[in-house]
Amino acid sequence: MIAIINGPNLNLLGKRQPEIYGSESFETFLRSLRKRFPETPIEYFQSNSEGEIIDYIHKLGYDSPDCKGIVINPAAYTHYSIGIADAIAAIQIPVVEVHISNIMGREEFRHTSVTAPYCKGLLAGFGLEGYALAITFLLGK
């Protein structure tokens, strides 16, 4: 099983700033993603709350022995959540951070990720395809 975690405002994908994040909802994308990885169950969790994301990372890390990897887009929390960074550091499962947009080409406050140092890798700017690239990497591990 691979888990995907999306942080705040990503429930609005498809509606929110489509010029930056595209016009497809994550639910629609997830249906096609699951078809591309038919052998791999993909669990999806989205929350606008930092604590819920931390609790879910703990659950995956300590109570989900079948979880082979985590793809996380912490969204705005990327830039300041030491709590989510610590939760990623606290588990053994490999984590890949994904950003739909190229955060390095946007406002300066988006150039910093406090969570990426605890991840195996970081993908930014590949749109929703970044989630598929991250899963391909995690399945090859």
Provide the terminal-to-terminal Cα distance of the chain, rounded to the nearest Å.
Answer: 13
Walk across the sheet containing 42-46 and list its strands. Answer: 42-46, 2-6, 69-73, 95-99, 121-124
Piece of the chain touching ligand DQA by CB under 6 A; list 25-33, 35-43, 80-88, 97-105: 97-105
Q: Is 70 or 103 the residue whose CB approaches ligand DQA more closely?
A: 103
Piece of the chain touching ligand DQA by CB under 6 A; list 42-50, 70-78, 83-91, 113-121: 70-78
- What is the Cα–Cα distance from 97 to 41, expressed in whole angstroms? 19
Residue type, 60: L
Decide if 21 is catalytic. Answer: yes
Q: What character string, x for contact with ligand DQA (CB under 6 A) and - otherwise, covers 110-139?
A: x-----------------------------
* Catalytically active residues, by annotation: 21, 99
